[in-house]
Amino acid sequence: DIIAEARNYIARGMKIVVVSMGGQGAWFITKNEAVHAKPPRVRVTSTVGAGDAMVAGTIRGLLLGRDMAEMARTATAYSASNIEHVGTFLPSQQRIEQLKGWVVITREGEARK
């Protein structure tokens, strides 16, 4: 179980664990909360850097004090935007907002869509 294993790391001092599962989405897990972010369907050009983009979005959310769902949406949108391009790419804020609107968030215990 992804959530249980992530909480083992949290019990050892981590504050948040993010487990990316590629096209199946990612889990964002803390001691008291876990959310799954299902990415939107986009044209896959290259997956190189998708994880780095997700890390950047997660860190941005943490630094700005965003709640878990908003952080997961943003990190997933950054990752989805990254895979639409080859090489280094900085998406427009408009594209990030569009992708965020298509990310499906499911909380721990809810049935995933």
Q: How far apart are CA 28 and CA 61, in angstroms?
A: 12
- Identify the CA nearest to 100 among candidates 43, 39, 41, 53: 39
Active site residue 52: yes
Closest CA to 31 of 72, 68, 59: 68
Count of residues making up the chain: 113
Is 104 strand, coil or helix? strand
Q: What is the CA radius of gyration of the chain?
A: 13
Q: Which of 33, 52, 67, 108 is catalytic?
A: 52
Q: Please give the backbone phi and psi of residue 61, each rounded to the nearest 5 degrees, phi first.
A: -60, -40
Active-site positions read 52
